[in-house]
Structure 1
Amino acid sequence: MKLSIVIPAYNAEKYIETCLESCVTQDMDATDYQILVVNDGSTDSTENIVLDMGKSHPNISIIHQENKGNGAARNTGVEHAIGNYILFLDADDYVAYNTFGTLMQMLEEHDLDLLGFSSKNVTDSSETKSQHSADEVQMDAVVNGIDFIGTYNYKAEVWWYFAKREFYNSSGTFFYDRKFVQDSYLTPTLFSKAKKSAFVNYDIHRYRKSPNSITRNKSVNHLNQHFQDLSFSVKKLFELRKKLIAAGITNMDALGRLHVKQQRYVFIIIVRFIKSNIDADQLRQMLKSFESLEAYPMDKFMSISDYRSPAYQLLTFIFNRSYLLYPAIKLFRIIRR
């Protein structure tokens, strides 16, 4: 078995058929890969849709569990995976048709631990064809994972790369029991341990921009959970940086990018906090805790080109200064009324 595709699904009846259709419409023999849908306690017709598609596509199977969240569902999927490589895919996303064969050839030919590819933001299910032809795509040079982190402004999400299953399992990485941004520390941790990784500019993945995204939910409970999980990510990235430094890693581009990613989560927390109605004292406490994690003030945020737009520069200048930040919060909330 060459590949295991792990798809966590919770009340995904609106999109799961499109997702699965894109997975079965590939230039690979169906016996060479499995599609594992982990039904994470869905209460809609997700299960029935998957079972119905499984009747005509034997490589589709469903695993049932109580609702535990995306991370726990992915862990379950990995436990059941038997392919040489793993690909994580979200149930509301999909992939371009007939693209996996080329990527599998690259993975096997170079014996890669990780292979990243391009993603495209979409709003519907019509983008089923890659803009690149298999004949024209060329893989970048094979590098170790630390050099990969230092070279590429990598995405934190786990759906833009294939991982060798043996490497993944031996790395000791897993998804924590958190609701949000579990992959924010898993992805860099995984890459930091890779001996052979590469990237190919082949637009495979389709990221569906949802009107019901987590950034649109304004409930206090939701926001507090998001803040807690983002804070956990800040802590885990700090621990990863320190661990790499203690191990003798001297690639400053890689260490710097990890530091920037860490401070980016602080930036996101502040932006979301400003748009809420939560008392400013809670933000003060969070920012104080980030000081010991070298995440605030955000003095590294502008150190590399990833986030150097004029808007980022202005907001970072304000956010790093309490005498500007808290009056700005009050002013924004007054104007918003």
Structure 2
Amino acid sequence: MYLSIVMPVYNGEVFIVEALESFFTQYHDQIELIVIDDGSTDDTYKLVSENFKEQITKGALVLCHQSNAGVSSARNKAIGMARGKYVTFLDADDILLDNYTNSIINVIESYDMDVIEFGFKTFIDSENINSCDDQFVHDNFGLIEFKSIKNVVYEKSIWYPCIRVFRKTLFNNYSFPVGVRFCEDMMVLTKIYENVEYVYHIDCALYGYRINESGATRNIRPDYHSNLLTFYHSLPKVDATHIDYMKINLSYLLYKCYNGTKLPLIMRIEFLKLFLKYAFDRNLNSRKKLILGFPNSHRFLKRILSK
């Protein structure tokens, strides 16, 4: 088995059939799809079991149910079950684009890679997805020594696991943090990427990411703040540009999840030092710099602009 696609789902009845069909219309017998129903209270499990009986019988689709424990728990369970040499992820409200399976299988057969990356499209209505622009984490394609693009990847901070294929053994020492409901992808993938030597970046958008107004990335809550703070303190204590970029992006998220509690003084001083160090860095956008150097001003401007 070349590849295991992991799908965690909770109450995904609206889109899950479309998501699964986007795989089975381009099915490859060296790929399995593992769906973990995380205690759904709607008809998710029923829809999958009734619409994909044949695929379940053949073993192409593995369907499991667990009591609600969160997306990280569901992903970790599926990774433990996976038979593939590589693993990747598919969210229940997203879709796989044309040529997804062939493109990835071709790279797996041709290269012994740690990570395979590819582009994506963001969409609201899948019928109009072909008119959406291709998006990429970075602009280098083909076989790449990861250290040559490390700073760019960390600066962009696009940590969607669904636009990457991972050698399964990379998860031997790491798992998605259970109980964390926001930025759990970033928390595990940044650790995994510290051990990556080579990546292969496919010059094509293969994944469709649906803009979901009810998703976690669109509904940030103040209680996400403590988990981000804990992750910040876990970062390596080294002087490296990619770690600086990680801290700068975390400062943006911490202030975005502001819950009325002041950050520790030592962190505020560190953010100010980073602002002074990277104030003229053209790679960083102005909003991140503003939050880094003047967090209170950013909140004031946000209130003014929202009126």
- Give 1:144 deviation, angstroms: 3.8
Could you say what secondary structure the match of 2:122 adopts?
strand
Question: d(CA) in 2 for partners of 1:303 and 1:260?
Answer: 14
1:194 paired residue number: 196
2:48 is matched with which residue: 47, 50, 59?
50
Deviation at 1:127, TM superposition (A): 5.4
Equivalent residue, structure 1, for 2:209: 207
8 Å contact kept, 1:8–1:91: yes
SS at structure 1 position matched to 2:294: helix
Look up the equivalent residue of 1:223 and give its one-letter code: P
Partner of residue 72, structure 1: 73
Is 1:163 the counterpart of 2:139 in the alignment?
no
Matched, 1:265 2:231: no
Q: Are residues 1:14 and 2:14 paired?
A: yes
Task: Give the SS at the match of 1:57.
Answer: helix
1:208-235 CA-partner distances (Å, limit 9, x unpaired): 11111335547xxx422x1122223323
Structure 1 residues 48 and 181: CA distance shift in structure 2, 3 A: same
1:21-60 map, 5 Å: 21-26=21-26, 28-29=27-28, 31-58=29-56, 59-60=60-61
C-alpha change, 1:130 and 1:84, in structure 2 (3 Å) is farther
Pairwise CA distance, 1:304? 4.4
Match of 1:118 in 2: 119
Partner-residue secondary structure (3-state), 2:8: strand
SS at match of 1:176: coil
Change (3 A) 1:297 1:41: farther
Return the alpha-carbon distance in structure 2 between the equivalents of residues 98 and 51 of structure 1: 26
- What residue number does 2:106 align with? 105
Give the 3 Å change call, closer, same or farther, for CA 266–3 of structure 1 in structure 2.
same
Change (3 A) 1:265 1:90: same
Q: Is the 8 A contact 1:259 1:295 kept in 2?
A: no
With normalisation by structure 2, the TM-score equals 0.83
Shift of 1:296: 5.4
- Structural mapping, 1:285-324, within 5 Å: 286-288=263-265, 290-291=267-268, 294-295=270-271, 298-299=274-275, 302=279, 304-309=281-286, 311-319=287-295
C-alpha distance after superposition, 1:269-307 (max 9, x if no partner): 22343xxxx54xx1x2x2436358x45554255564442
Q: Which deviates more, 174-183 or 2-11?
A: 174-183
For the residues of structure 2 that align with 1:334 and 1:155, how far apart are their CA atoms?
28
CA distance in 1, matches of 2:255, 2:274: 11
The CA distance in 1 between the partners of 2:38 and 2:77, in whole Å, is 10
Task: Report how many residues are paired.
Answer: 295
Deviation sequence 1:104-160 (CA, Å, 0-9, x none): 21122111110111111111222566999xxxxx98243343334234435222111
Q: Do the aligned partners of 2:8 and 2:92 also contact (CA within 8 Å) in 1?
A: yes
Q: Distance in 2 between matches of 1:215 and 1:3?
A: 27
Q: C-alpha separation between the residues in 2 aligned to 1:173 and 1:214?
A: 22
Identity %: 22
How big is the shift at 1:51?
0.8
Structure 2 residue matching 1:68: 3-state secondary structure: coil
For the residues of structure 2 that align with 1:262 and 1:176, how far apart are their CA atoms? 19
Cα distance in 1 between the residues matched to 2:170 and 2:130: 29
| Cα offset, 1:94, TM superposition | 1.3
- Root-mean-square deviation over aligned CA pairs: 3.0
CA distance in 1, matches of 2:13, 2:87: 24
* Contact 1:156–1:185, Cα closer than 8 Å, also in 2: no
Q: Which runs of 5+ in 1 are unaligned?
A: 133-137, 246-254, 320-324
Match of 1:258, as an amino acid?
A: I
Q: Take 1:13 and 1:97, find their aligned partners in 2: how far apart are those partners? A: 23
Structure 2 gaps of 5+ residues are 134-138
**Counterpart code for 2:146:** G
Structure 1 residues 54 and 187, CA gap change in structure 2 (3 angstroms): same
